[in-house]
Amino acid sequence: MPALAPFRQPYYGTSVFRIGDQLAEIIAVGEAMQRALALLEGGDVVAIPTETVYGLAGDATNGVAVARIFEAKGRPRFNPLIAHVADLAMADRIALFDPLSSRLAAAFWPGPLTLVLPQRAENGIHPLVTAGLGTIALRMPRGFGGELIARLGRPLAAPSANSSGRISATTAQAVAADLGGRIRLVVDGGATPVGVESTIVKVEDGKLRLLRPGGIAAGEIEAVAGAKMLRGATGIEAPGMLASHYAPGASMRLNAERVGVDEALLAFGPSRAEGWRQAVALKNLSEVGDLREAAANLFSYMQALDRSGAASIAVEPVPFDGLGEAINDRLARAAAPRDKIA
């Protein structure tokens, strides 16, 4: 990646940040609403300020937009993202609140608290947001993000706006320096006040578990809950540890050159594996071989082929470049022997 020109701070108003022949505009919050809305409506991603850190946001109901988030971050895995809502009514349409979660939402939203909750059926959330899980991580952000979501009328999926493996960005300039060549717009709201990610909690059998410490101290949450929290993820929740949860009932056979008897076929691209006509069910991740489209289709197509009742799913080779790495990671987990899955 070419070196960036030194950046002067503070930065006001509209400017263009140029990397190679790509552009990421930096627009101050006061002027950015319409441009951000237009990009999100078109299924593109936008970096936005929140009270925690800058988020790389995309329409949580649009699989291609969510795939673009993973692509821009260069994430090698599809871990579940936090869905951001504008108000409690939107949150209620997406997830099922138990009384304790409702109490915490009332106390801390909008704010840096994320609640993991069971999803409602047919809530419109694309399965790539939750990595196919039955639960969803929800948060109501303060300020520009909240207003943007209210105007859009749909939730936004948003992990931190940084390349995979780098630290979270707390200024628009840091976002632009990192992702400027891969996204079109950074909304500049100045330095983020909290500066660390949200605290993530989940109610399990009436007990509260701290899944990730963050912007709200555990003690503050415990004071509202009236009880100590359990600590540590239960294994399923940590990013990359979700294998058993994703595993289909059918066995998976990767890089299949031909389709066997009683097999379903998960295809990719324009040319088919030998014997494809005998497949008991067939889904093509992307007829034209587009990895973004393939990522968007991955979870729902695996589930659909699993429902076909086939004992085995043959999977055509998927290239490893770009989003292909995360797609192959996911496929490899699904194909792993079940007793090896953590």
Binding residues vs Mg ion (CB under 5 A): 160, 168
| Order of all β-strands in the sheet with 312-315 | 251-253, 312-315, 263-267, 282-284
DSSP E strands: which ranges in 89-141?
A: 113-118, 135-139
* Least Cβ distance, residue 220 to ligand AMP (angstroms): 19
Which of ligand AMP, Mg ion, none has residue 211 at its interface (CB below 5 to 8 Å by kind)?
ligand AMP
8 A C-beta contact, residue 108 and residue 216: yes
3-state helix, strand, coil in the chain (%, to 5): 30, 20, 45
* Least Cβ distance, residue 288 to ligand AMP (angstroms): 30
CB-based burial label for 139 (10 Å; 0-12, 13-18, 19+): buried
**With respect to Mg ion, which residue has the nearer C-beta, 168 or 328?**
168
The number of beta carbons lying within 10 Å of the beta carbon of residue 207 is 13
**Any residues with CB less than 8 A from the CB of 5 and at least 6 apart, and which?**
none
Which of Mg ion, ligand AMP, none has residue 239 at its interface (CB below 5 to 8 Å by kind)?
ligand AMP
**With respect to ligand AMP, which residue has the nearer C-beta, 93 or 272?**
93
Q: Which of 340, 339, 283, 285 is nearest to 308 (CA)?
A: 283
Which of Mg ion, ligand AMP, none has residue 80 at its interface (CB below 5 to 8 Å by kind)?
ligand AMP
DSSP E strands: which ranges in the chain?
A: 15-19, 22-28, 46-48, 55-59, 82-84, 113-118, 135-139, 156-157, 185-188, 199-204, 207-212, 230-231, 251-253, 263-267, 282-284, 312-315
**With respect to Mg ion, which residue has the nearer C-beta, 61 or 168?**
168
φ, ψ at 223 (rounded to 5°): -65, -40
- The C-alpha R_g of the chain, in whole angstroms, comes to 21
Would you tell me which residues interact with ligand AMP (CB under 6 A)? 79-82, 116, 130, 133, 135-137, 159-160, 197, 200, 211-212, 237-239
Two tokens, residue 130: 């939750």
**With respect to ligand AMP, which residue has the nearer C-beta, 51 or 237?**
237
* Least Cβ distance, residue 222 to ligand AMP (angstroms): 19
Which of ligand AMP, Mg ion, none has residue 64 at its interface (CB below 5 to 8 Å by kind)?
none
* Least Cβ distance, residue 243 to ligand AMP (angstroms): 13
* Least Cβ distance, residue 159 to ligand AMP (angstroms): 3
* Least Cβ distance, residue 196 to ligand AMP (angstroms): 10
**With respect to Mg ion, which residue has the nearer C-beta, 82 or 243?**
82
* Least Cβ distance, residue 181 to ligand AMP (angstroms): 21
Which residue's CB comes closest to Mg ion?
A: 160
* Least Cβ distance, residue 51 to ligand AMP (angstroms): 13
Which of Mg ion, ligand AMP, none has residue 137 at its interface (CB below 5 to 8 Å by kind)?
ligand AMP
Which of Mg ion, ligand AMP, none has residue 130 at its interface (CB below 5 to 8 Å by kind)?
ligand AMP
**With respect to ligand AMP, which residue has the nearer C-beta, 71 or 237?**
237
Which of ligand AMP, Mg ion, none has residue 128 at its interface (CB below 5 to 8 Å by kind)?
none
What are the angstrom distances between the C-alpha of 307 and each of 89, 240, 248, 281, 312?
32, 24, 9, 10, 11
